[in-house]
Amino acid sequence: MPPRKKEYGIKRASGSLVHFRAPVSATTIRRHSAVVPSVLTFAVIVASGGLLLMIEKGMLNSVQTPPPRANGRKVEYRLRSSSDTAADVESQIVQEIRNRTIRSVCGQRNMPHSVWSLSPLQRKTLLQHILVNDEHRFLYCYVPKVACSNWKRVLKVLSGALANVDIKVKMDHRADLVFLSDLPPEEIRHRLRHYFKFMFVREPMARLLSAYRNKFGEIEAYQRKYGAEIIRRYRKGYAKDKKISGNDVTFTEFTRYLVDEDPERMNEHWMPIYNLCQPCAIEYDFIGSYERLESDASYILERVGAPQHVRFPERQTWYKPVTKETLHYYLCTVPQKFLKELLPKYILDFSLFGYPLPNTTTEYCRH
């Protein structure tokens, strides 16, 4: 490996060092500080509790926010190999603003501040979604539809259950994996206190669309269990039909179903990320982004000391990505009144992880 470049940083009150790649000129900083106002506006809106009002007004559609990196209380800045120091400085600026936003939201009195302050249902959901690796001393909170199957492959390779990530076997999402919920309270506390903790997030509506296309377009068990019920509830004339296959649920019907569901009791594939991983109750050391999956996954493997031969799996050739155009098309098929009811259920996923709300105005959808 090439030698690391000299690091620079400033001491925080806590004693931790915030790293910078190299000093840059004031001119460079001024040129890239234009990113600050829009993101800062987003932070102020969240901190003041006015986010739901902004949805109604449609004022957040143009706000641009950075990809997620960490939760604000334990900042893990990743040093990039790029020589573009200006881009590094810009990334650090927006990360710090996002971290302050998260700290502001999680600092509210009504927010949980530890795993043990959660309700029994919330704690059960959380602990069932945190995977443990004792050899490399890390905890991973998995989020369905955010590359969690590939991360589970990686964990199985690290534990020796799989020889490598490319072996063609049907993924068993429980076997050869250790969940935090399997451990007694004192061991849970120890690992939460001493292990490296990470999770990955994704643009909330893209994640929902991915779940919709996968579960209702490909998985018969989901079509029978959820699809048939959704059609009976929301499609006129089908309320008493017992022969529904459930394989033709529309995205609007799926949206209406989500509006009526309790987020804490949703299926994990469309439960809000916040409810799955509780980023206010756990101080994650790193929050990776699905949109930067390759680089963020490489960083995690390096950070936990994974052997050189262990790598993150490449996406399968059959994988159908959710493009911006595809997401735009599906969201614009949903009546605005349903979207206005849906977005508040995922508002913490948008605000905490730095994703702008989707623009679904009539004028925008017309194009």
Task: State the amino acid at position 53 in one-letter form.
Answer: L
Give the C-alpha separation, 128 to 131, whole Å.
Answer: 8
Q: Which residues are annotated as a binding site for 3'-phosphoadenylyl sulfate?
A: 144-150, 202-210
Backbone angles phi, psi at 138, to 5 degrees: -140, 155
Higher pLDDT, 94 or 257: 257
For position 159, what pLDDT does the model report?
92
Q: Is the pLDDT of residue 300 over 90?
A: yes
* pLDDT average, residue stretch 341-365: 92
Tell me the DSSP string of 248-289: ---HHHHHHHHHHS-GGGS-TTTS-HHHHH-TTTS--SEEEE
CA-CA distance, 348 to 102, in Å (whole number)? 10
User: Would you state the pLDDT for residue 286?
Assistant: 87
Average pLDDT over residues 49-71: 42
pLDDT digits (tens, 9 = 90+) for 213-229: 999 999 999 999 999 99
Helix spans in 176-269 (H): 185-194, 204-217, 220-222, 228-234, 251-260
Q: Is residue 16 scored above 70 in pLDDT?
A: no
pLDDT digits (tens, 9 = 90+) for 101-157: 778 899 998 999 999 999 999 999 999 999 999 999 999 999 999 999 999 999 999
Mean of the per-residue pLDDT values of the chain = 80
At 51, the pLDDT band (50, 70, 90 cuts) reads low
Please enumerate, by residue number, every residue annotated as part of a binding site: 144-150, 202-210
Identify the band that residue 318 occupies on the pLDDT scale cut at 50, 70 and 90. low
